[in-house]
Amino acid sequence: MIKILVPVDFEPQSLIALEQSYNLARLLPAEIVLLYVYDPPAGIRSLFGAAYDEEILKKLEERLTELCTKVQAETGLQVSMILETGQVYSKILEVADKIKAACIIMGTHSQPELPGTAAGALGANSSRVLRSTKCPVITINARHHFDGCRSILLPLDLTTESRQKVTWGIKIAKIYGAGIKVVSGIWSKNDPAVHNRLKFLAGQVKDFIEKEGIRCTAEIVEGVENEKALIPVLLNYAETQGDIDLIMIMTQQESGMIEFFMGSRAQEFVRLSPIPVMSIAPKELGFVSIFS
């Protein structure tokens, strides 16, 4: 059975991410796998020894079992649990690979984070998972979202990776019964040839998506001041549309064009987005395609 991995730490953000997994689990259908990673500070372990760890792990197992039972009873979904000890991000990646997770759904913060993490910053564990994962990751910011997906936003540019995103958008739209909104940003300093190519590509993509039986719109946002301003412009566009419930990005490193995923600018996108973001590794990074 297809599996969705949901790392939890019992904090509100991870529980909201868990709630967001229910609809996708029903549609696939898929089993939800709850993962808690116990990573005690080295100083605590040296002070209290193995007995302290055993007691904490026992309590964590009880709480995880309680959450697992509660979710099963409330949703009727198949839910299992895994309790691991180690580095949070490395264990998330390890477990996702081991269970062949279709995707990971997690909050943009996961405890414990690095000391001194600024409010609103993308959590250290979330950032590392996004940089290294081979399966899609849906990140959720700390608020409740629409139960389902009405429309998917696809930021589009001229890269090969961006075209892979179109294929993924079609797959996910069919699962949710959602529409797709394609949008590209053009700033005043762009070469006119880039303007023309983007407009032509947007039209091609719209036709391609509609031939798959998916409703689609394509827009060019013009007059963007510069590449740095593109992120807030796209996020503002997404919010003003009123029905966009998922934004899809690729996680490649800098590619030299508008596509800014998954370097520092991509993390900024994920951090700032009030809408869930699905981050997908390009083929050359070896993504796992269980949705196909």
Residue at 198 is within a domain = yes
Both 268 and 155 in one domain: the answer is: yes
Residue at 286 is within a domain = no
CB 190 within 8 A of CB 158: no
pLDDT tens per residue across span 21-79: 999 999 999 999 999 999 877 655 556 566 677 888 999 999 999 999 999 999 999 99
Residue at 18 is within a domain = yes
Both 11 and 127 in one domain: the answer is: yes
Residue at 190 is within a domain = yes
Residue at 284 is within a domain = no
- CA–CA separation, 39 vs 36, rounded Å? 10
Residue at 290 is within a domain = no
Average pLDDT over residues 248-255: 63
Both 216 and 123 in one domain: the answer is: no
Both 23 and 88 in one domain: the answer is: yes
Residue at 281 is within a domain = no
Both 114 and 180 in one domain: the answer is: no
- CA–CA separation, 85 vs 53, rounded Å? 10
- CA–CA separation, 254 vs 260, rounded Å? 6
Q: At residue 200, does pLDDT exceed 60? A: yes
Q: Which of 106, 130, 136, 141 has its CA nearest to residue 278?
A: 136
Both 163 and 126 in one domain: the answer is: no
pLDDT at position 262: 46
Both 130 and 156 in one domain: the answer is: no
Beta strand 244-250 with 277-280: parallel, antiparallel or unpaired?
parallel
Q: Which position has the token pair 């193995």?
A: 50
CB 262 within 8 A of CB 252: yes
pLDDT tens per residue across span 123-159: 788 888 988 888 999 999 867 777 889 999 998 877 7
Q: What number of other Cβ atoms are within 10 A of residue 244's Cβ? A: 24
Both 75 and 200 in one domain: the answer is: no
Both 23 and 134 in one domain: the answer is: yes
Structurally, how many domains does the chain consist of? Answer: 2
Domain that residue 223 falls in: 151-272
Both 62 and 99 in one domain: the answer is: yes
Both 162 and 221 in one domain: the answer is: yes
Average pLDDT over residues 3-19: 94
Q: Which of 6, 16, 20 has its CA nearest to residue 103?
A: 6
Sign of CA dihedral 173, 179, 185, 225: negative
Residue at 34 is within a domain = yes
Q: At residue 83, does pLDDT exceed 50? A: yes
Beta bridge partners of 186: 222
Beta strand 103-107 with 79-85: parallel, antiparallel or unpaired?
unpaired
pLDDT at position 284: 47
- Residues of 141-175 as b/e, b for ≥16 C-beta within 10 angstroms? beeebeebbebbbbbbbebebbbbbbebbbebbee
> Is it true that the peptide bond before 192 is cis, omega within 30 degrees of 0?
no
Cα distances (angstroms) measured from residue 242 to each of 13, 146, 230: 22, 11, 19
Cα distances (angstroms) measured from residue 25 to each of 10, 114, 246: 20, 31, 16
Contact partners, residue 58, CB within 8 Å, separation at least 6 = none
Q: What is the mean pLDDT of the chain?
A: 83
pLDDT at position 7: 96
Average pLDDT over residues 160-178: 87
Q: Which CATH number fits the domain that encloses residue 183?
A: 3.40.50.620
pLDDT at position 267: 75
pLDDT at position 88: 93
pLDDT tens per residue across span 111-131: 444 444 333 445 788 888 988
Enter the pTM of the model: 0.87
